[in-house]
Amino acid sequence: MHLILFILFAGCCLAGAVNLLLQTHPINSALSLIVVMSSLAVLYLLLGAEFLAAAQMIVYAGAVMVLFTFVVMLLNAGTEERTRGSRMARALGFPAVVALLAVIATVILSAQGLNPASVQQGITSTADLSRVLFSDLLLPFEVTSVLILVAVLGAVALARKDNGERQPGK
């Protein structure tokens, strides 16, 4: 059952990533990234990392994607110019992808004697993990939140139509 769920959600993750690259509208790309993040959370659950799966959903699929969507909508990017891509990328990209998929298929088909992963040391509880995250690693969390705040403020400043000048009567 785990293998079927893994293949299903790994396929969803890959399909979401490909869809992210192929979309022309930024909001559709952000929604595809949410699919990727949610699929990764399910893969973490299959690995037995419940806390990491919950953090993936709350932090990445929730907060960060809301910020991405907010900034994309704030910038009001409009329509993007479509290009046909480069001939070199098309000439080298497709054979490279076929070769990479062939290598992955060969490795998967030849790996019959693999043993399942085992835990060498005791499993850390969620209480121990949260104690480390919110005491020893508190400064990196706060610096990251300030960095995201500065990035959003920078996007707002860049998106202003009047370039920061106040017009009379407004």
Q: Do 22 and 16 touch, CB atoms closer than 8 A?
A: no
Coil/strand/helix, residue 86: coil
What tens digit of pLDDT does each residue of 35-76 get? 888 899 989 988 888 888 888 888 887 777 777 777 777 776
Q: Is the backbone of residue 157 left (phi > 0), alpha (psi -120 to 50) or beta?
A: alpha
Can you say how many angstroms the Cα of residue 41 is from the centroid of all Cα atoms in its chain?
10
What tens digit of pLDDT does each residue of 123-133 get? 677 788 778 87
Tell me the C-alpha distance between 65 and 54, whole Å. 15
pTM of the model: 0.51
